[in-house]
Structures are given as structure tokens and as C-alpha cells.
Structure 1
Amino acid sequence: MSRVSLTIDGPIATLRLENPDKLNAFTPEMLRELDAHCAALEMERSIRCVILTASPAKAFCAGADIIAWGALSPFDFARHWVRDGHRIFDRLARLSHPTIAAIGAHAFGGGLELATACDIRIMAPRATLALPETQVGIVPGWSGTQRLTRLLPEPVVKEMALFGRRLNAERAHALGFVAEVSDDPEAMAREIAEKLGKTSPMATEVAKYQIHAAVGEDRSAMIEALGGAMIGASADKAEGVDAFANKRTPEFPGR
């Protein structure tokens, strides 16, 4: 049974965590499913926006399933659980499509890190955000001390990671981490996503690349992607490919 579903409704894709019995906490299987869905989405050019949400539960995502990682050796915990999770969340963050996290309930640990990997976040009024890892003897491992610190002030992240304080929706909105507070985050996310139909898909994608390059999100790849797009549209590129295919010396027009 899939615990991370992908549905596509016209130009809007929805990724949904479906592990409510465990507060939508991540298992290794869920990580693999998210990875596969992100790979499929990246190849789907008709998609204009991806909404990330969760089945109704007391938590949007309570983080990582402690039973799933608790018995791992230190080597497997670092190499597979932490690094694989980090890589998969990075893949979500770097989707070419705009992404919206619809946070209908509490987002703790890996759940907060998952929402942080999206471009914007919509949050329910009673939901809270937390980094409770130190309470079980570990530290944030899926970018909670890295990507999150680019989006929230350092003292606020320290409040959460060191002192266990929760961040409520009102304060998260005031700090700019949350775009909107709504009683129905998923409906608002869809409303925002539908407005992308009036924008240029290419311009939206390139703008995302530019912003990511500015804040250090996979900067080297973003810069080279932008350069590749620029040269890919040139007559020089067309001439070079044609010359190679026909085994002749290229005559570049310089445009």
C-alpha cells in the first residue's frame, strides 16, 4: 500500500502523505515513494504546480518514524537514513515546478523539513512547527539546521532546536515563513496554484532557478542550467550540433 500518493488534476499535481495511524511519520518506503514521484513530476511538462499535503491526522507529519530508524547502526543511520532523506528532500526542493506545502496540522522534525523544501507554505491556525529531535537524542538531519536557517532568523531556529519551543501559525506568518494562514490550507493552496495558469511556464521556472541561485539552493547547478538554456537557444549551438552530426568544421555565427 502506497503511503505517499500522487494525483494529477489538469495542471496541478498533489503529493499526499498517507500514514495517518503514525501521524504521517516518514518510513523508508515513504522516502522511496517520494523520490520516485519527484522523478516522475520532473518529466511531466504539463504540470504547473505541485501541492504537498497529508491525510487528516493530528499531525501534517510528525517527522521520521522512530521505530524505522531507532534500530539502525550508526553507519546505516548516517549513510542511508540521513543522507538518503536529505537527497530526496533536496530533490523536492529543486523541482522545476512551483511547490506549495498545505500544512493542516502540526509539522515536527522531518515534517517541518519537508514543508521547508517547498517554495511557499500555507498553514492552519492551530498547527505548530517544531524541531524536537534533541528530545530523543538526535539532531535535525534533513536540512532543519541548513535550509530552515535560510528562511527563519537564526535565534528562532535555536529556540526550536535547542530549547524545544514551538512556532505557531501567527508568528510563522509574521516571520514570512508562511505565506498564508487558512482554515483550509489545501483549498487555499489550490487557489494559489490555479493562478499560475495566467503566468508563463518558462518564466516561472527560470525565476525559480534565479532565486535558488541567489540563496544558495544548488547554486552551481542553477547557474549552469540558466547558462545552458541561454546557449541552447542560440544559432551557435544549432550550428555546432549540425556540424558534429555531418562531420564538418562548424562556422559559428556568434548569435
Structure 2
Amino acid sequence: MGQILSRREGAVLTLELSNPGKANALDFAMLAALDEQIARIGEDDTIRAVVLRGTAGGVFSSGADIREWSTLDPQAFATQWIGEGNAVFRRFERLRCPTVAVIEGLCFGGGLELALCCDLRLAGTGARLRFPEVAIGAIPGWEGGDRLQRIAGRGRALEAVLLSREIDPPAALQWGIVNAVCAPQEVEARLEEWTARLCRISPRAAALAKALIVDDDKDPHAAYPAAALAVRSSPDAELGIRAFFAKTAAVF
């Protein structure tokens, strides 16, 4: 049974996928643990950024644990594994604070689907990304193909899914799947740079700006004025405006 290890450093919460012996394959216990962390983040405004990673310097996740879902009957598979799993993934994707996935090794199937739920992705040069599902009569059921399509376009998403193409770090960067690629020894420094910057921005503005990008069901004619009203009415806006005219950095 896998677990999600968590540690807090200042305003940054790090979640580490851990399923030893199974290359961090995702199982029911890990989905439940992720949902618990989502609730924790929702109740703690002092968490300003979330980092999701696998084994440090190694595998991110080999995907969904086939031994877990292969024993389910088709109806249970569809409703519990896929339906409930997608609900957790969507909640994670829509967290109020920015999220960063750190991918240093193998990131396949459901693991890649989870990484695509993050706002930013940092890859090491040893990262390996792939959707292998159709080769075993399955699909990327946690909406990974659709998320990849929004990032990289339909043609590339279909190539990745139907050909089970392994996407190396240069291609992932070119496609926009990852935001940066670093040598192994540079990953931690780049991650620290990103999280430090994310912790300096306005949390209220970040949450609203993120929601406008992530929420595909919004009515833009209503959503943007509502978000503008909310952020302009917040203390962060007043603080930021004062800092701008004083030519100082705002401290939120």
C-alpha cells in the first residue's frame, strides 16, 4: 500500500509519492491520502505553494497500480477508480495556491496524468514521460489526454496516447509539457527559486488568476469582472498599489 509523505518548510508544502517496490504506482490509499492533503491545504491559508514529487532523484510514478484496479469489475472500475479518481485530480488541479510537479525519472500513465494537474512542471534530464495505456487495452482515464491536448495540442496528444510515444525532456519542453529542464544537480536550486517567487506573490491574486485559467466551464463575461472586483477589493490590492507608488516590493 502506497502513501503520500508530506513535509512543510515555511510556506511550502511538499508531497512525495511513495510506494516502494512498485515505482510509486498510484493506488486507492494514495488517492485517499492526496484528497486528505487537498483538504488540509484548503483549510490552511499559510500554505502558499505545493510541490508534488516522487522519489528524490528517481522515479516520479509508474502510473496507476494495475494490481489494484484489475481486480475491480467493470462498473466498480468506472465509478470508483476512474470517477472518484478524477474527482480527486480535479480538486487537486483547482487548489487555490500554485502547484509544482518535479519530474526527475519515470513518469508514466496515471503518474503523468497527476503531474499534468500541476500548474508548473520542472523536469530533470532523466525524466521519461509516457502514456502506455492503449498497449494493454486501457485508456488514460484520469483525463490526462485531455489535459495534454490543452497544453500541447490535439495532434501531439493523440501521438502521445495512440503511439504510446515516450516523450524525452527536450520534446516535453518543446511541447510545453514542462516549463524547464535542469541537470540533476540543478533541480533543487531551480525548485527553490520557483517556490520562493511563488511565495512572494499575492496569494489572493494568484488564486483568482489561476482559477480564470484552470476553470474551463466559466462564463468569461461574468468571471473576469467578478474576479477583478474580488481582487481589487482585497487588502492585497491596496498593499500592492502602495508598494508600486513607493517603488518598493510588496510583502504579502
For this structure pair, what is the TM-score category when the shorter chain's length is used for normalisation?
0.7 to 0.9
Q: Equivalents in 1 of 2:131, 2:225: separation in Å?
A: 35
C-alpha displacement at 1:187, in angstroms?
Answer: 4.1
1:86–1:142 contact (8 Å) kept in structure 2: yes
Report the CA distance shift for 1:86/1:187 in structure 2 as closer, same or farther (over 3 A): farther
What are structure 2's unaligned runs of at least 5 residues? 234-252
Task: Give, in angstroms, the shift of residue 225 of structure 1.
Answer: 10
- Is the Cα–Cα contact under 8 Å of residues 20 and 56 in structure 1 kept in the other structure? no
Counterpart residue type for residue 157 of structure 2: V
Taking the TM superposition and a 5 Å limit, the aligned residue runs for 1:206-217 are 206-213=208-215, 216=216
CA radius of gyration, larger in: 1
> CA distance change for structure 1 residues 232 and 65 in 2, over 3 Å: closer, same or farther?
same
Measured in 2, the distance between the counterparts of 1:106 and 1:20 equals 14
Query: Cα offset for 1:126?
Result: 2.0
> Structure 2 vs 1, CA of residues 189 and 141 (structure 1 numbering), >3 Å: closer, same or farther?
same
Measure the CA separation in 1 of the matches of 2:54 and 2:100: 12
- Cα distance in 2 for partners of 1:159, 1:228 equals 37
Identity %: 36
Equivalent AA in structure 2 for residue 40 of structure 1? R
Matches within 5 A, 1:84-233: 84-184=84-184, 185-213=187-215, 216=216, 218-219=217-218, 227=226, 230=229
Partner of 1:37: 37
| Distance change >3 Å, CA 186–CA 21, structure 1 → 2 | farther
- Equivalent residue of 1:145, what SS? helix
Contact in 2 for aligned 1:51/1:101 (Cα 8 Å) = yes
Instruction: Tell me the TM-score normalised to structure 2 length.
Output: 0.84
Matched residue SS, 2:64: coil
Q: Is the 8 A contact 2:49 2:199 kept in 1?
A: no
Letter in 1 for 2:96: S
Q: Distance in 2 between matches of 1:29 and 1:159?
A: 32
Cα-Cα RMSD: 2.4
Deviation of 1:145 after TM superposition, in Å, equals: 2.1
Q: Residues 171 and 19 (structure 1 numbering): CA distance in 2 closer, same or farther, change over 3 Å? A: same
How far does residue 226 in structure 1 lie from its aligned partner after superposition? 7.3
1:20 aligns with 2:20: yes
Structure 1 residue ranges without an equivalent (≥5) = 235-255
Q: Contact between 2:104 and 2:124, CA under 8 Å: does it hold in 1?
A: yes
- Determine helix, strand or coil for the equivalent of 2:176: coil
TM-score by length of 1: 0.83
